[in-house]
Amino acid sequence: MGGCDHRGTTSVSPKLAVVIVNYNAGLLLTKCVSSVLADEVGAEIIVSDNASTDTSLALLRDQFGDDPRLSILENGANLGFARANNVALGHACAPYVLFLNPDCLVAPGALERMLRFMQDTPKAGMAGCVVRNPDGSEQVASRRVIPDPWIGLARVLRVEHVWPSLLAGKRLDRTDEPLPEGPAEVEAISGAFMLVRREALEQVGPLDEGYFLHCEDLDWFVRFRQAGWKIYLVPDAEAVHYKGACSTRRPLAVLWHKHRGMGRFFRKFQFDRYPLPQSLLVLLGIWAHFALVSSAFALRRLAEHLLERVRRR
């Protein structure tokens, strides 16, 4: 899975490697790195930059450029989320690897608690913390189930808002339930904060680079569980995720890759579970949804542009 490269670390072997894929995260990247370094758990940080065109790397170097715990890999092109993470993984040496989004700020003490849990729970291949929105509410992805076509259709149609009982036992997220009192096994955690045991990673393999953006985390969750590893939520560790902060510049491209990822995930893990006509209908539904959402977005942008022209007259 690649060699170990300690050029950016201290002489002491790190307990934790933190991999951060950056693409135009602005000041949030520096704040993210700062939140990790503040926890002082002996972490090395590897930033894998996908040819950012903003000031994010300059801001990071201004504040932490001389810190031996930080390494910056400039990929020279936008490799996508999965591949950029895998590139950084080849430079990580620690027994635990945290895959962290650049728009995610780790709460004080969270890394120490997460590491302690992983060390005490040898069957845990991966663990996540409670991921919150900036307003303090829990994000939907924080603890969830692997989506199937029924759940996906219900969410697209927003059935849960008008007919909640119809989705009994089939809700994608669990945020309407109280947080568990202690670590709890879940099907899926937030892809913004994934702490992975290297032993499990070596068995399962890296992220599937067939995904450019979105759904590579779901793919990993399925593969970890198929290999016999457990995934946990650790409720006494938290992070704040400024979701979407890195995808505002190219929203249509993000939509495209999100739906492409959904299609790949379905074909890879769920296509053969259903009769062929139903599976083909699901794939058609994914791209029909993309067409509707992207068209609505384009029309909204056009309306905003026309309204702005009217105001200038």
Query: What digits encode the pLDDT tens for the residues 173-200?
Result: 777 789 999 999 999 999 999 999 999 9
Q: Would residue 256 count as lying in a domain?
A: yes
The label of the residue with tokens 């991921």 reads 131
Whether residues 104 and 204 fall in one domain? yes
Query: What digits encode the pLDDT tens for the residues 119-161?
Result: 999 999 999 999 999 999 999 899 988 988 777 666 665 655 5
Whether residues 234 and 291 fall in one domain? no
Q: Would residue 156 count as lying in a domain?
A: no
DSSP 58-93: HHHHHHHTT-TTEEEEE-SS---HHHHHHHHHTT--
Phi-psi region of 19 (alpha: psi -120 to 50; beta: other; left: phi over 0): beta
String of b and e for 205-242 (b: at least 16 CB within 10 Å)? ebbbbbbbbbbbbbbbbbbbbeeebbbbbbbbbbbbbb
**Nearest Cα to Cα of residue 45 among 69, 64, 14, 15:** 69
Query: What digits encode the pLDDT tens for the residues 199-248?
Result: 999 999 999 999 998 999 999 999 999 999 999 999 999 999 998 766 66
Whether residues 288 and 180 fall in one domain? no
Q: Would residue 153 count as lying in a domain?
A: no
> Which pTM was predicted?
0.88
Q: Which amino acid is at 261?
A: G
- What DSSP character marks residue 178? P
Whether residues 45 and 73 fall in one domain? yes
Q: What is the pLDDT of residue 82?
A: 97
Tell me the HSE value of 253 on the side-chain side, using a 13 A CA sphere.
Answer: 9
How many domains, the chain?
2
Whether residues 114 and 181 fall in one domain? yes
Whether residues 220 and 81 fall in one domain? yes
Please compute Rg for the chain using Cα positions.
Answer: 20
What residues make up the domain containing 177? Answer: 16-145+171-241
Check which CATH number belongs to the domain holding 219 and give it: 3.90.550.10
Last residue of a domain, one of 192, 211, 241: 241
Tell me the HSE value of 207 on the side-chain side, using a 13 A CA sphere.
Answer: 29
Query: What digits encode the pLDDT tens for the residues 1-25?
Result: 555 654 444 456 899 999 999 999 9
